[in-house]
Amino acid sequence: MLGHNRRMSGAECLAEMFKGYGVTHVFHVPAVLRKTFAVMETLTDIKRLHVHGEKAAAYMADGYARASHKPGICMAQVIGALNLAAGLRDAWLAHSPVIAMTGGRDPKTKFRKVYQEIDDVPAFEPVTKLNATIDDVARFPDMLRQAFRVATSGTPGPVHLQFRGNEGQVDADEAELDPLCEPQFARVPPFRPRPDDASVLNALTHLQDSVRPVIVAGGGVLASDASGELVAVAEALQVPVATSLNGKGAIPGNHPLSVGVVGSYSRESANRVVGNADLVCFVGSETGGMTTHFWAVPKIGTPVIQIDIDPEAIGRNYPLVAGVNGDAKVTLAQMLRAADRAGAGKRKAWVAQVQEICRDWRAKYAPMLASEAVPIRPERMCADLSRIMPEDAIVVVDTGHAGMWMGGMYDLTSPQQSYMRSAGHLGWAFPAGLGAKCACPDRPVVTFTGDAGLWYHIAEIETAARWGISAVTVVNNNASGNQSKRGFDRVYGGTQTAQARELWTFRKVNFARVAEEMGAVGLRVDKPGELAPAIQQALAANRPVIVDVVTDIDALAPLAVS
């Protein structure tokens, strides 16, 4: 079609195209696209990580994608396909460009009760932007290009390609193929759509007219690599900045205009500031339930501006005074050029009030952040991590209590640091941290998870050891999923029976010993003073490390205020 066809196998075509798109790692459970894996060995340097479960493979690809902005690739044969689909759910919720490839049904044997086979395609529908089947090898080049195009463009997200044959044996077929790549779609964002000037000026006018505004920065700011422009606009106009949990990292926590994460897994100061604002400007945020504490912060009726690359997101949950459709970086740069810096003085009193709200938060939690209690308090873990994280660290955080503790209590301290979090799935963070380390081997990667979170994919410690993935995983080990405690207190009428604890507690396990047995480094921490030295030792080890921190089962994260 494009004039550079050569006779080759689908396997050769895929391997060449992976190389052309700059793929460095593929996460899989065998056996799928076997011939492609064999050809990859001779044609490319791509690392083929054979892992312990398809869901973990998807989470690793997701962590790889979020850390690098490059699509992460994961694969499964037909019987593992739904395990892989389950693992795409977090990528879907977080808008992460993951490309999943599975083996699928052969037209010759469909509906004949073939071993291990069902129709998997519908299960990928709710978690993908593109869900397609490839029955003929001639379609490899255009479908792979489409996969990269869809995964990276607009609001990024997962894609599924099902290859004919339970193991995708269509890759052994030959045809005249052109393995052409489009490097533009090897990374997010491929395009930076420029908004129309009138809509930007309208938004800017509203922002500049307000005396108590706040910006809420979402994951779209990070996808667009727009943190620099965001902070510059905030400084020029003197507008405080909250972030969504997905956007944490868009502004360092120690910036004088930063108020923290707003919403449900949040910091009280952020909810107070957004709740008191006379105008809220969402940038790259879906204005979803988690970010707005189920649309209570800000209250519906507060004047709102929304800037987003996806026109369908603009105005979905809040009636708007201004909407801007465009890339975050381009839009914010446009606003900066037109900004009235002189007029920023009218927000002096508001900024002072905001900074007092932030100081109050710090004073309220200072004793817990510095707590010497044994068992260790999670607040102390967050404070120590904020203090000692290297300048270019990637911090990866699980959901549930881990998301609440770190979302609320952890601060990034440099613009080079990154933060990624589970969009809701317990157990995501540990494999995602391994994927992030594969994508960015020269950056320190530190994962924060609870013990319930680690249990999900604990087998991947062996994968980390086998592949020398030197991510550091810090476990808030309270031998329970104690985020659930409040909910069970409630249904037991205030006081749980002794037996009720079987619903949310575990055996006490020493994960440092488990890690050592699997070939990683294990460090056990019982006292608060040992925590920072252990993490520093872990970062220097240049090996996969589990830092097992024994924490207080009665420590419950503060609930959101509205």
Q: Which is nearer to ligand TPP, 426 or 434 (CB)?
A: 426
CA–CA separation, 4 vs 28, rounded Å?
31
Our CB check for ligand TPP shows the closer of 325 and 483 to be 483
Q: Which is nearer to ligand TPP, 169 or 476 (CB)?
A: 476
DSSP letters for 40-82: HHHH---EEEE-S-HHHHHHHHHHHHHHHSSPEEEEE-GGGHH
Measured distance CA(424)–CA(411) in Å, rounded? 21
Note the residues at the interface with ligand TPP (CB under 6 A). 398-402, 424-426, 450-453, 476, 478, 480-484
| Residue 488 C-beta: closest distance to ligand TPP, Å | 11
Residue located via tokens 């707005």: 292
- 70 or 401: CB nearest ligand TPP: 401
Residue 108, class by beta-carbon neighbours within 10 Å (0-12 exposed, 13-18 middle, 19+ buried)? exposed
Nearest approach, Cβ of 194 to ligand TPP (angstroms)? 39
- Are the beta carbons of 480 and 506 closer than 8 angstroms? yes
- In whole angstroms, how close is the CB of 426 to ligand TPP at the nearest point? 3
If the CB atoms of residues 365 and 467 are measured against ligand TPP, the closer one turns out to be 365
Between the alpha carbon of residue 245 and those of residues 268, 281, 319, 352, the distances in Å are 13, 16, 22, 25
Q: How far is the CB of 451 from ligand TPP (least distance, A)?
A: 4
256 by DSSP, 3-state: which? coil
Question: With b meaning 16 or more CB within 10 Å and e meaning fewer, what string describes 472-492?
Answer: bbbbbbbbbbbbebeeeeeee
Classify burial at 5, counting beta carbons within 10 Å of its beta carbon; exposed 0-12, middle 13-18, buried 19 or more. Answer: middle
Q: Nearer to ligand TPP by C-beta: 282 or 511? A: 511
Closer of 101 and 531 to ligand TPP (Cβ):
531
d(CA 287, CA 293): 10
Q: Are 378 and 368 in contact (CB under 8 A)?
A: no
Peptide bond into 250 cis (omega under 30): no
Smaller CB distance to ligand TPP: residue 289 or 311? Answer: 289
Min separation Cβ 518 and ligand TPP, Å: 20
Report the alpha-carbon distance of residue 437 to residue 443 in Å, rounded.
7
Q: How far is the C-alpha of 504 from the C-alpha of 500, rounded, in Å? A: 8
145 vs 401 by CB, closer to ligand TPP: 401
- Separation CA 187–CA 148 (nearest Å): 9
Question: What's the min distance (Å) between Cβ of 195 and ligand TPP?
Answer: 36
CB of 448 closer than 8 Å to CB of 531: no
Token representation of residue 438: 């594969």
Question: Toward ligand TPP, which CB reaches closer, 63 or 481?
Answer: 481
Q: Take residue 185 and report the two structure tokens written for it.
A: 């779609």
- In whole angstroms, what is the distance from residue 72 CA to residue 49 CA? 12
Three-state secondary structure of 362-412: HHHHHHHHCCCCCCECHHHHHHHHHHHCCCCCEEEECCCHHHHHHHHHCCC
Nearer to ligand TPP, 209 or 489 (CB): 489
Q: Give the pairing type, strands 472-477 and 445-450.
A: parallel
**CA pair distance 388, 92, nearest whole angstrom:** 32
Shortest approach of ligand TPP to residue 425 CB, angstroms? 5
Q: Which is nearer to ligand TPP, 309 or 404 (CB)?
A: 404
Shortest spacing between CB 89 and ligand TPP, in angstroms: 9
DSSP state of 561: P
When the beta carbons of 27 and 456 are compared against ligand TPP, the nearer one is 456
